[in-house]
Amino acid sequence: MTKFLLSASWMALASVALADTKLEILKLDTSASELPTVSPATRENVIIYKEPGRYGGWPANHGLWQWGDELVVGFTSTWYKSTTTDHRIDRTKPSYEIQARSLDGGKTWKTEEDVPFADRKKEVKATALKEPLDFTAPDSALMFCFGGLHRGPSWFYTSLDRCKTWRGPYAFEVEGVEGICTRTDLIVLGPRDCLMFGSCGKKNDGKEGHVFCARTTDGGLTWTFVSYIGEEPQPGGFAIMPSTVRTPAGTLLTTIRMGKPSASIELWRSDDLGQNWTHVSAVTGNIGGNPPATVLLPDGRLCVTYGYRRKPTGMRARISADEGKTWLPEIVIRDDGFDGDLGYPRALVRPDGEIFNVYYYNGPREEDRAIEGTFWTPPQPH
């Protein structure tokens, strides 16, 4: 049996809801992009997890962390099944929350097992956190999870040893916010002070679809509602899966996955630690439905990576030099996917400035569903 493991750092992780229930990918047979495209200056792909008959998926529902050359990534492992109406997974078989670790900067990976949250069918009994957390502890990790199909409740686990062992689950609640779905996105402000960004239920239909910001100043013992980001989407629409960075000047920049009809990624800005938000720009057009993975590059530019679920399917990115007011041409990291059942990336910047993305991918065969990664550098500006 393949060995499993999971990972984390205070810089985010999330969710045990199986798969992407916002599935929009199998009917998208034409390209919708009218953006100019370019290729990375350098690019190297690696395999993180690939097993015969298995389906590796959705790193965005989990996380990617680094401590120098030690990296950890979380994802789901389930079973492949041919279908044209769903992800190609066998929902009659068990699935597991997995973690893989690299000790050489992401070149090679090993999966591990025996994490307390690996079996998603095991009943979760969350308790209250009793001792405050230190969000700045160098080897610490925090992993948010939620049960059901995007309907909560939510909880979290903590680690003090780079995800080798975990404590929890601990209950997670924000007064006044219902249906919290915690694919975690965190901005650490101090040892006991942290902002988190998540999705929650909409008041108009109860379904997941509105992004909110919450804050703790007591090390995670309690969380206080700060704001919603944007207006609540109409019934049938959604805004979910934020990915947030904080600039050296303190500005928060949050990218959000939007549902139909736009199926785009939108950028929002706050200059007062999340109290108020301004829409900045559309990062993408209709990409077929995929969450963003957002990082700040060493030169201060903003980089957003996402799965591209229209033909030619694959992984793409956009870069902005003015905090999202304008965007450079779309970067085609890969365009060799079998179909649109791919993406859900996580991203980090290596110490040498190279970008590293982890995502789930398919091809060249229909049944290929692996966790893969790409090291890449942006094209040189003209």
- pLDDT band of residue 314 (cuts 50, 70, 90) is very high
**Domains of the chain: residue spans and CATH:** 37-377 (2.120.10.10)
Of 24-28, 127-131, 225-229, least confident by mean pLDDT is 24-28
Predicted confidence (pLDDT) per residue in 265-310, tens digit:
999 999 999 999 999 999 999 999 999 999 999 999 999 999 999 9
| pLDDT value for 130 | 96
286 vs 94: CA distance, rounded Å: 33
Rg (CA), the chain: 19
Report CA-CA distances (Å) from 155 to 56, 143, 241, 350.
23, 9, 17, 30
3-class SS of residue 61: helix
Of 3-17, 192-206, 303-317, 318-332, least confident by mean pLDDT is 3-17
171 vs 117, residue with greater confidence: 171
Q: Of 14-28, 106-120, 218-232, which has the strongest mean pLDDT?
A: 218-232
Q: Of 3-12, 42-51, 104-113, which has the strongest mean pLDDT?
A: 42-51
- pLDDT band of residue 11 (cuts 50, 70, 90) is very low
Nearest Cα neighbor of 260 from 229, 231, 282, 239 is 239
The pTM for the full model equals 0.91
Report CA-CA distances (Å) from 365 to 82, 335, 369.
12, 15, 9
358 vs 378: CA distance, rounded Å: 16
Of 121-135, 225-239, 329-343, least confident by mean pLDDT is 121-135
| pLDDT value for 145 | 79
Predicted confidence (pLDDT) per residue in 146-200, tens digit:
765 445 578 888 999 999 988 998 999 999 999 998 887 999 999 999 999 999 9
Burial of 30 per CB tally in 10 Å (0-12, 13-18, 19+):
exposed
